[in-house]
Amino acid sequence: MIKVVLDANQFVSALLKPHSNPAKIVRLVYEGDFTLLLSPAILDELQRVLAYLRIKKLHPRTPEEIDFFSEVGKNCSHNPRDTARFRNLT
């Protein structure tokens, strides 16, 4: 199994550009081809970046969805097989 780490910028790119390479990687994680490795630092940065005004204008996620995404990610960082819970957020 291939293990991947995506930084916050790659997650944002996947969210904003569904045909980008980061989005393809996220889809491969969903399909079980890759294992996603996360850290609390990456998730904290992602939460902060998604709250930037210029980024908020580009995505439809509410602050509650962003908080949920971060919490799910923290759980997934302990259990990488649980990444399917991200599906509704990307």
What is the C-alpha to C-alpha distance for residues 30 and 86, in angstroms, rounded to an integer? 8
pLDDT per residue as tens digits for the range 15-40: 888 899 998 998 888 888 888 888 88
pTM: 0.68
The confidence score (pLDDT) of residue 90 equals 46
CA R_g for the chain: 12
Instruction: Extract the tokens encoding 74.
Output: 């923290």
Q: Which residue has the higher pLDDT, 47 or 81?
A: 47
Q: List, for residues 66-90, the tens digit of each pLDDT value.
A: 776 666 566 555 444 444 444 444 4
pLDDT of residue 88: 46
